[in-house]
Amino acid sequence: MANRILVVDDDELILIALNELLTPEGYEVHTVSSGAEALGRIEKYGYDLLVLDIIMPEMDGLELCKRIRQRENCKETPIVFLSAKSRHEDKAKGIDAGANLFLSKPISPNKLLRIILDTIG
């Protein structure tokens, strides 16, 4: 069974690009564009990896991350922030919110694939 990845980003282009990138690699990719939707999906499905943007309308990525970590079934799920932010304090905030990794946009597709592979096989 293929590993299932949820990508949360308010930018449609990112969602499309990651779907295009990851699906051929054999991952089951779900994409949503808001925190609320993301929580709904997590309720329904179990995910092997969550990729979250930070800057989003209504609920930002950090808030979303904290909410997810509060759920019993998601305590161990790897969470990666993929954000346009790149400063140290932003990274620290991301880790504090419960993420496993903080990646800055833009990231080279190869690097991203390698990191995902290293994380969930």
Partner 1 sequence: MPIPPFRDWKIRAKLISVTLFVVLLPLLCVAYLSIDRFAKALKDASDEDLGHLVRSVYTMCEVQQQMALDKVATDLKVALEFIYGPGREVRIGDVFLARDTHFVDKVQDLVGGVCTIFQRIEGDRLLRISTTVKGKDGKRSIGTFIPPENPIARSILAGNSYKGRTFVGDDWYIKAYEPIKGRIGNVIGALSVGVKERSAHFFEEEIKDIKVGDTGYIYIIDSKGTLRIHPAKRGEDIIDSRDSSGFEYIRGMIQDALALGDGEVGTIRYPWINPELGEKAARAKINRFMYFRPWDWIIVAGTYEEEVYHSLYETERFILVVVIAGLALLFILIITLSKVLTRPIQELTEVTAKMAEGDFSQRVNVESGDEIGLLGRSFNRMIGQIEGHTSNLEGMVEARTRELKRSRGEYRDLSRFLNNILDSATEYGIVALDFYGKITEFNTGAEKLFGWKREEVLNEENVGITITAEDRKRGIQKEMSRRTRTEGVCELEMARVRKDGTRFPAHTIVTAIVDQSGKTTGFVEIIRDLTARKILETELRKTKEFLENVLESSVDGIVTTDLKGKITYMNRAMEQSLHFQKEELLGKHISGFYLNGIQQARDIMNLLREVERSENYEMAVRRKDGKILSIMTSLFLLRDEHDQVIGTAGIFKDITEQKRLEGKLKETQAHLVEASKMRALGELVAGVAHELNNPLMASQTILHVILNNISRESPERNRLELIRKCNERIRKIVEHLKEFSRGTDHEFVGVDINRPIEDALMITQQQLLDHNISVHRNLSEGLPQVLGNLNQLEQVFLNLISNARDAMDEVEGTKELTILSYLAEDEASGAVCVSVKDTGMGIPKNDLDKVFEPFFSTKPVGKGTGLGLSLCYGIIEAHSGRLEISSQLGEGTEVRVILPLPESRKE
DSSP letter (8 states) at residue 13: H
Locate 112 and state its tokens: 């991203």
Residue 50 burial by CB count (10 A; 0-12/13-18/19+): exposed, middle or buried? buried
Range in contact with partner 1 (rule: CB under 8 A) among 10-18, 39-47, 63-71, 72-80: 10-18
- Regarding 17 and contact with partner 1 (CB under 8 A), the answer is yes
Positions in 48-67 near partner 1 (CB under 8 A) = none
CB of 25 to partner 1, least distance (A): 10
Beta-sheet strands, E only, within 10-115: 28-32, 49-52, 79-83, 101-104
Q: From the list 45, 71, 109, 117, which residue makes contact with partner 1 (rule: CB under 8 A)?
A: 109
Query: Rule CB under 8 A: is residue 21 a binding residue for partner 1?
Result: yes
> What type of residue is 90?
D
Residue (37 or 90) nearer to partner 1, CB: 90
- Three-state secondary-structure class, residue 22: helix
Where on the chain is the footprint of partner 1 (CB under 8 A)? 11, 13-14, 16-18, 20-21, 24, 84-88, 104-110, 112
